[in-house]
Amino acid sequence: MTEPRPVIAGVGVTHPPALRQDDLWRDFFAGHYAGPQRALARRIFANAGVATRHSVVNPLLEDVSRWSTKARMERYLVEALPLGKEAVTGALDAAGLDPARLGLFAVCSCTGYATPGLDILLARDLGMSPRTQRLFIGHMGCYAALPGLGTVTDFVASRGEPALLLCLELTTLHLQPPTRDPQQIVAHALFSDAAAAVVVVPGDVHSGGYTVREVTAVTDTATADHMTWDVTDQGFRMRLSPQVPDVLAEHIGPLVSDLLGRHGLEVSDVDGWAVHPGGPKILDVVRDGLGLSEERMAPSRQTLTTHGNCSSPTVLLIVDALRRSPAPPRTVVATAFGPGLTLYAALLSAVQPVAGSEV
């Protein structure tokens, strides 16, 4: 008899205050990009597919673009702790799980560092057991949620204990000084802040949720310089090559087809798609590469419009939106992309509630 697969039993999502893209452009970035770059920046902001974004620092009130990295890291810890607590508490409450029962607490973040880290401080503040194992996953960027999900799922499968994954990014702390670099302008037009947490439990002790059937990846190291996240004296600086969509176009079809094929499925069998919205063109490439309809892409586009690109939490935001929809999908493929260039994909399947089951 096949052992029950681990199940996503609870999700918690939180955002700092929302800011309108139009307001950000008119009241801050139009002046930030003065001179010959202003017209280019205006077009990039207008075509980013973002209507609102979230930020722990409002640039209309507080310009961090010339802050030192030290100052940004100090602010990171101040802002990250309450956001992380809210997301983790929401996921635990949704799963009906006492934090003291967690066997593993994993945290993904590439936008800030501190020691003791978020894993230690949140475990302490939220009442996790001293025996709870912890893992911090850093500098993987936008795709980190999926290897993080794979890690906690493997732990649950092997140990039979619940685990929790938190993805938390404060990208807006890394606003850069004015530049002529179009890649920096693109980053400033897209990125946003968020935290998302998921609780994964043994499959035989929970009702409902999604099983994690497989997590897979492909990395094209020949294009490693296409996407970078460099630590500088003035925060972390992103490089986004315009060739990134071409690399994704080459790999997305085979990656997803191979994943589905191992489970006897085809693209047409998938009724839920959580595609990391790296930008409108990225979503177009995935749509065309997999032959998806705009209806299937709608949850990912809506997340970009409403929340921007929140880096690692973003794909979990889309999974959460899918599971809360009036007709939750039965089969979900989540995909995310980042430095490497790396593509990750996860296959999730809905499970039926079992009467009388509890975590």
Positions annotated as catalytic residues are 142
Is the CB of residue 331 less than 8 Å from the CB of residue 301?
Answer: no
Is the CB of residue 236 less than 8 Å from the CB of residue 174?
Answer: yes
Is the CB of residue 325 less than 8 Å from the CB of residue 298?
Answer: no
Name the token pair of 274. 């959580």
What single string gives the DSSP state of each residue in 105-165?
EEEE-SS---SS-HHHHHHHHTT--TT-EEEEE-S-GGGTHHHHHHHHHHHHHHH---EEE
Phi, psi (rounded to 5 degrees) for 305: -65, -45
List Cβ neighbours of 356 (8 Å cut-off, separation of 6 or more). Answer: none
Judging by beta carbons within 10 Å of its beta carbon (0-12, 13-18, 19+), is residue 206 exposed, middle or buried? buried
Distance separating alpha carbons of residues 163 and 275, to the nearest angstrom: 24
Name the token pair of 69. 């990295």
Distance separating alpha carbons of residues 270 and 265, to the nearest angstrom: 8
Bridge partner list, 96: none
Dmax (CA) for the chain in angstroms is 68
Angle between helices 69-95 and 118-125 (to 10 degrees): 40
Judging by beta carbons within 10 Å of its beta carbon (0-12, 13-18, 19+), is residue 42 exposed, middle or buried? middle
